[in-house]
A and B are shown apart, each in its own frame.
Chain A
């Protein structure tokens, strides 16, 4: 296990606790939620308890962040034998890529769990699923074993399916089914690809760190390409990359606000995380072969996502399509970082840092925007933008937080999105200047569509029917502020995040 970095013997089990404590809490809430009178009678009590449980990983990951050394390589590794005959192990650890993603995941889950939602009398199941999903999602980012990664990948799908199907609205079942079938269809090639890479290892192992060290598919030709395609389909569906995105809008529109926030904020990142952790790290040569077409696809996603979003009249679909646009920035940064060019290590490092920060920023920003749409739906019962107007008059808090989130999403400096996008574009301009120039078009369209949305929903005259529109409640405002404060913090003083990400990105591109 020499390939693991420092910190192996440090205070153990913090990471495992961050994964399994919410799962244990989920089981307890599911088992006892209906039986214990003091829980069953008060949804608020239940929600508070669940939020406390959801906050545990956040605290634990903050501790992990504090003791993170950033020497490159995996830290705070916890490893157990699991199925030694197959080389399967329970291995978790952090580096400059997974730590920010896991911490962002924990933060989003706290906000999503505490956020008011119509529980439809099934509170215990809802919170149990949320907590279970939190554990699984954090587990996915911390997993250092492909088998473990795949287990978390699939169980997270199941939990999200139920959250959409049971607590969604509109045609929720159909949307949930579409989400499940589509992304599950992506799991199969992913599984085959994992097996494919596993079979090439010698000695056989699912250990990510060892596979990265072995580079089993270097020079494997067609075999490597097939494995690449398997991974690519799985990750591209999850990200989602145009044209694999069609499951996303219905799933978002019909999902309850907090589930949407988790779906966009956390689950989409599993795809982009897979691109880096597996495709780029384990088979860099094959990735470099496909870097240019991938960058083209990313630019298509950037432009296409922003244009389709511009035409939306449904608030939630609008936000959903901007997600496709933002995931395009991530993939563009990754393609640049993985491209086979020489002498551009700085630009590639900056692109990789930018892509990673975009994952975090998009999670926080779009998570906030989806929570906001949930609040608007709860008050106005429709997502139609034209139905609203002048809400600033009744709801200054809601307006202020939405303006902040919208401007963050359109990449205003001083907020997190800009820190990501400028780095992605600076890197891309060095490697694929023309693609960067086309992609910049998306920045203007995003600005136009968000300003139009803000104008139509919050400014102008207040229609009579909204004269009693309620402003955000205290819990909603705090939950959103909790996410957006990090958006501002990353935007104004990015060093605390960029230093951590750079400890991964710099060595990764061989700077």
Chain B
């Protein structure tokens, strides 16, 4: 039963919120309490591994189960969501109750997704997560930009959802059931199609190339929404799916290389975007794509365990960084990285954010450093080129992590006074502190039993890294930090000395959104418009055709007299009569009368059809109705 209650509990909490009065403390406490309860339940579930089967129909069985990598995910989601929701309750005044209810529903949908043991349930959770994110991104619905962005995010991820539709359908076609375990039975060709669908779905959801830009659009939502959807929900779903199904799909020869290729290109491109972005939240969004790219690389290199560890550690530090950015935006009214440097104004927030930035840069002994190292070890093992790519990505990560922290929370320029006196509230600081603590807590993975724990949670094996790999990545991190610090001192960290136009293009995913719009969205809209015009013309042609036909018919009739028409009527009557005769040779009066009444009906209808032009066509239908009634009457009488 736990398996059913787990995703339902937050949804019930969301419903309860809507019944409460919209007071910050009241709704905040109820929402956080719901999540803590969910967390407790999820922890129990992760241990007990409950499952629950449920029949849709005699043909379709669905199953919920807290198993495999779903176990740590089920715990992670409410763990990260609880401080975020507390933060949201304290900071968002506009539509607070709706926002909190939707955040809870978001958690519920994600829990459904991670406890799905069949493709159908997975698809349900998958799309519900997308739907709630639409409502969350469009939370400020009076702003047309937010509404557009919400639609863009939903439609883009739905393109990926088609992949899951195909995977689900093909699994059913091959095995007669939607169960994830059925993949083992599928033949190679089918499995290949399923793998393609899964990769498409995962790439779209996890904001990998070429879908990455939707994550920028998702920034239109309030900060807590970004914090949650970048860490433990929505975006996490893609990587989760690959971690869950990667080992089964590895039998398809092209699958792992393709996953790795998507991952490494996004890791590098996202790294560049994060490095040149001048908006705090967008810089973090670029880094989200890049970090998920690394998880894809890990899966592609055959180490789902490393990917899983990266997913979990990333969730903690990325939500921390986002909430920190939220405070910064709140304090200054803008997210422009050129105008923040809030180290003095917000010392505690700066310190907490630094924990997140260090984790992002993968500095030991934080947990994130451990997972990065394992990813590197796995990729070097798989392919030296891939390993080199990961090393470059590590350098980029260290650079943009340091850049973000210095520009957002670095010391102010000499001579400027600290103008703002924004003091974050207790709830905000507490949320940040909790997330920073969780980030620090994940350092425990370096302990002797950490390795075994991660392996058991992800059901995958881990490669231990060679000493030179550890040294190389540590050196690269150091290089990144020093470089960032030097640029910072010379006041060139914001633009990196790049020309404006190049910088603007690079910051917006190297022009990818514009290209997508021009090459996909615009042609589809043009095609739609063209088809609509065609349809209208066809309608017109149809109408004209009917009118012309009626006109010609009446012309013919008026020239040739009644005989043509009579002929038609007689023909029809003869046909009907023939039918009657063929059925039985008895010429019983009732049938004859019935047939003749039918013929009369056709006759009057034909007569009336000539009036199509006269505008009195309703007479025609009255007559038909009367004719039908008479016909029915005769038939009834003949019984």
Contact = CB atoms under 8 A, between A and B. Distances in A.
B4 to A, nearest CB: 12
Interface string B257-292: 000000000000000000000000000000000000
Interface in B513-563: 524-525, 527-529, 531-532, 535, 538-539, 542-543, 546
Contacts of B546: 178, 181
B420 interface: no
Contact of A429 (B60, B172, B621): B172
B148 A455 contact: yes
Contacts of A310: 524-525, 528
Most buried by A among B57, B178, B543, B621: B57
Interface string B605-633: 00000001000011001001100100010
B162 A443 contact: yes
A250 B539 contact: yes
Which of B193, B538, B579 is packed against the most chain A CB atoms within 10 Å?
A: B579
Contacts, number: 196
Interface string B573-602: 001000110111010101100100000000
A180 interface: yes
A445 B154 CA distance: 12
A422 interface: yes
B147 A455 contact: yes
Given A83-B639, A451-B134, A422 B165 contact: yes
Contacts of B590: 83
B295 interface: no
B21 interface: no
A349 interface: yes
Nearest to B163: A440
A155 interface: yes
A417 to B, nearest CB: 11
Interface stretch (A269-277, A364-372, A406-414): A406-414
Contact of B628 (A155, A181, A390, A460): A155
A307 B162 contact: no
B48 interface: no
Contact of B59 (A307, A349, A425, A428): A349
Nearest to A161: B621
Interface residues of A, number: 80
A413 B58 contact: no
B154 A495 contact: no
Interface string A238-270: 000001001101100000000000000000000
Contacts of A418: 124, 127
B448 interface: no
A499 interface: yes
A188 B67 CA distance: 60
Contacts of A423: 60
B173 A430 contact: yes
A223 interface: no
B158 interface: yes
B606 to A, nearest CB: 12
Contacts of B57: 353, 494-495, 498-499, 501-502
Contact of B124 (A82, A181, A413, A501): A413
Contacts of A350: 59-60, 172
Contacts of B141: 392, 459-460
B621 A199 contact: no
A177 B172 CA distance: 46
Contact of A444 (B124, B162, B591, B621): B162
Nearest to B625: A158
B528 A311 contact: yes
Given A429-B172, A447-B155, A311 B532 contact: yes
Interface of B is mostly: helix
B172 to A, nearest CB: 4
B540 to A, nearest CB: 9
Contact of B621 (A83, A162, A433, A506): A162
B60 A311 contact: no
Contacts of B144: 455, 459-461
B583 A87 contact: yes
A414 B628 contact: no
A502 B56 CA distance: 11
A307 B524 contact: yes
A252 to B, nearest CB: 12
A308 B134 contact: no
Interface in A37-77: none
B638 interface: yes
B586 to A, nearest CB: 6
A195 B170 contact: no
Interface in A119-160: 151, 154-155, 158
A173 B528 CA distance: 29
A433 B583 CA distance: 46
A86 B166 contact: no
Interface in A181-229: 181-182, 195, 198-199, 204
A100 interface: no
B425 interface: no
Contacts of A249: 535, 539
B168 interface: yes
A87 B338 CA distance: 88
A412 B128 contact: yes
Interface string A435-468: 0110011011101100110010001110000000
Contacts of A165: 618
B579 A426 contact: no
A304 interface: yes
A346 B624 CA distance: 46
Given A307-B527, A412-B128, A494-B56, A177 B639 contact: no
14 contacts: A151-B632, A155-B625, A158-B621, A181-B546, A246-B539, A247-B542, A412-B131, A426-B172, A429-B170, A440-B162, A444-B158, A494-B57, A495-B57, A498-B57
Given A199-B583, A441-B162, A495-B56, 19 more contacts: A86-B584, A158-B624, A158-B625, A162-B621, A173-B618, A247-B542, A249-B535, A250-B539, A307-B524, A311-B531, A353-B57, A414-B128, A426-B178, A428-B169, A429-B166, A443-B162, A447-B154, A498-B58, A499-B57
